[in-house]
């Protein structure tokens, strides 16, 4: 079988993980080219993994005639433009979330994806490929909890990463707490409830680190969302989680409740000693979602080979961006915002 030749842009925290998966863990896939604005990163990956082509300019990578697909793991403000460029040159495209930081640019990408119906486009909502989140979806569809009417999501980053986040956020615009972090939860809520958001009220603040006020962002925030069918969404996002990386989701239905990740344990080891009974916590997204990152990438490659489309569509990216942006607007204005789709 022919191998899908992939070029990746972005070799940072997540790009490096994706690159490793593409290079070594997926059959019928070859990591043919890598690109980053940081030359040392490019050279390091090329040397370490024997990658034939390396670039510091995205446009140069797109000119490589050997490539079939482009994998985008660059900072969020580049996604829209890089997706459109790659699609227009005939590539299949995978992009990390969020689709866009502004609604207009997300809609622009939707138009571009629709204009290239024979190319695969996939967005990195990897939680949909996590075994536990998939099992929950199957149970909801089987009617185990009746009709779901409330979803409560926690997305909390480790306090230990706050300094590096603040350094990053001072130099880069990532969309703010809701667009950057809650976007996965918004997608899950739409997926599980099968409904679009109607209105939102979001609040937040800086509690341990006043620096978040200076960058006009929240250290921790909460959004309450009413969905079209009157279902309820409660979304908590934060960057100051003392015990580690905590992603938790609860779906309440008319006949029962599902919870995923209530205790964000690293493994099944329980430590019992003078301090008490301890379960260690996962320390970040790479550890918690390792299987999901691999599975979503496998799905992207399989879609290209099987000439089919992934279940996640560009519309999922647009709708979650619209909701994220509405939360941001509500947080900034203090008002209840109607989510306009």
In the complex, the residues that contact ligand NAI under the rule CB under 6 A are 9-15, 35-38, 41, 58, 73-76, 78, 96-97, 124, 126, 285
- Least distance to ligand NAI, CB of residue 94, Å: 11
Give 37 or 208: the residue with its C-beta nearer to ligand NAI: 37
| Total count of residues recorded for the chain | 341
- Least distance to ligand NAI, CB of residue 244, Å: 15
Residue 122, Cα to own-chain centre: how many angstroms? Answer: 12
Q: How far apart (Å, rounded) are the C-alpha atoms in residues 32 and 174?
A: 29
Give 252 or 296: the residue with its C-beta nearer to ligand NAI: 296
Residue with tokens 């999901």: 292
Q: How far apart (Å, rounded) are the C-alpha atoms in residues 69 and 99?
A: 17
Angle (nearest 5°) at CA 39 between 37 and 41: 95
Residue nearest to ligand NAI (CB): 12
- Least distance to ligand NAI, CB of residue 317, Å: 12
According to DSSP, residue 340 is labeled -
Q: Among candidates 292, 301, 283, 241, which has minimal Cα distance to 17?
A: 292
Give 58 or 121: the residue with its C-beta nearer to ligand NAI: 58
- Least distance to ligand NAI, CB of residue 250, Å: 20
Q: How far apart (Å, rounded) are the C-alpha atoms in residues 319 and 193?
A: 14
- Least distance to ligand NAI, CB of residue 74, Å: 4
Give 252 or 321: the residue with its C-beta nearer to ligand NAI: 321
Give 148 or 176: the residue with its C-beta nearer to ligand NAI: 176
Give 212 or 289: the residue with its C-beta nearer to ligand NAI: 289
Give 10 or 204: the residue with its C-beta nearer to ligand NAI: 10
Task: Give, in order, the Cα–Cα distances in Å from 142 to each of 251, 254, 256, 279, 282.
Answer: 14, 13, 12, 32, 30
According to DSSP, residue 98 is labeled P
In terms of DSSP bridges, do strands 276-278 and 271-273 run parallel, antiparallel, or are they unpaired? antiparallel
- Least distance to ligand NAI, CB of residue 225, Å: 21
- Least distance to ligand NAI, CB of residue 13, Å: 4
Token pair belonging to 54: 């390396």
């Amino acid at each position: 079988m022919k191998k899908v030749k992939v070029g990746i842009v972005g070799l940072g925290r997540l790009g490096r993980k994706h690159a490793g998966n593409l290079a070594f863990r997926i059959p019928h896939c070859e990591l043919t080219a890598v690109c980053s604005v940081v030359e040392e990163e490019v050279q390091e990956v090329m040397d370490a993994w024997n990658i034939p082509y390396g670039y510091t300019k995205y446009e140069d990578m797109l000119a490589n005639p050997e490539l079939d697909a482009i994998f985008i793991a660059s900072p969020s403000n580049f996604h829209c433009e890089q997706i459109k460029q790659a699609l227009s040159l005939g590539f299949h495209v995978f992009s990390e979330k969020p689709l866009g930081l502004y609604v207009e640019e997300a809609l622009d990408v939707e138009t571009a994806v629709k204009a290239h119906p024979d190319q695969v486009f996939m967005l990195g909502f990897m939680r949909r490929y996590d075994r536990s989140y998939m099992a929950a979806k199957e149970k909801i569809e089987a009617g185990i909890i009746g009709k779901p009417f409330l979803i409560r999501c926690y997305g909390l980053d480790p306090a230990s990463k706050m300094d590096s986040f603040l350094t990053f956020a001072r130099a880069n615009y990532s969309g703010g707490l809701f667009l950057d972090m809650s976007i996965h939860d918004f997608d899950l809520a739409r997926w599980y409830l099968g409904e679009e958001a109607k209105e939102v009220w979001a609040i937040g603040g800086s509690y341990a680190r006043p620096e978040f006020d200076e960058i006009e962002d929240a250290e921790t925030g909460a959004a309450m969302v009413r969905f079209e069918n009157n279902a309820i969404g409660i979304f908590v996002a934060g960057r100051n989680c003392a015990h580690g990386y905590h992603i938790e989701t609860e779906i309440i239905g008319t006949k029962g409740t599902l919870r995923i990740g209530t205790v964000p344990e690293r493994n099944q080891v329980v430590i019992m000693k003078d301090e008490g009974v301890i379960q260690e916590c996962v320390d970040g997204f790479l550890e918690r979602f390792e299987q999901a990152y691999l599975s979503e990438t496998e799905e992207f490659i399989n879609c290209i080979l099987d000439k089919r489309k992934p279940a996640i569509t560009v519309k999922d990216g647009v709708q979650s961006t619209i909701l994220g942006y509405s939360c941001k607007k509500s947080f900034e204005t203090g008002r209840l915002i109607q989510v306009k789709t």
